[in-house]
Amino acid sequence: MGKGIPLNDQDRIPWLCNLHDILLRDVASGQRVVLACSALKKTYRDILTQGKDGVALKCEESGKEAKQAEMQLLVVHLSGSFEVISGRLL
């Protein structure tokens, strides 16, 4: 991006997987997490919540098999003209 070359999906997927891992770690430790990013495609949002392989977020307890982590995800999608959204942000 610094060179003016836009990212493609191959560039974004490892970054999204890394964010997924961070969410996984923080949710598993009982933290409340807010992630703000422009995950514009549903595929990107799916990777954030389910990882690259489509497996839902899980947490591991020491010495026990993995169990499903309780995670509440709220996706906010701003829809409107530039003028409307910028006016509301102001």
Q: Is residue 26 part of a domain?
A: yes
Q: How many domains does the chain have?
A: 1
Q: Is residue 45 part of a domain?
A: yes
Q: Which residue has the higher pLDDT, 26 or 71?
A: 26
Beta bridge partners of 68: 58
Q: Is residue 3 part of a domain?
A: no
Residue found by looking up tokens 């389910």 in the block: 50
Q: What is the pLDDT of residue 65?
A: 37
Taken in order 28, 33, 37, 39, the sign of the CA dihedral is positive
Q: What is the mean pLDDT of residues 12-24?
A: 90
As a whole number of angstroms, the distance between CA 5 and CA 57 comes to 32
Domain that holds residue 52: 9-58+67-87
As a whole number of angstroms, the distance between CA 27 and CA 61 comes to 12
Q: Is residue 1 part of a domain?
A: no
Q: pTM of the entire structure?
A: 0.63
Q: Which residue has the higher pLDDT, 2 or 56?
A: 2
> Do 54 and 25 touch, CB atoms closer than 8 A?
no
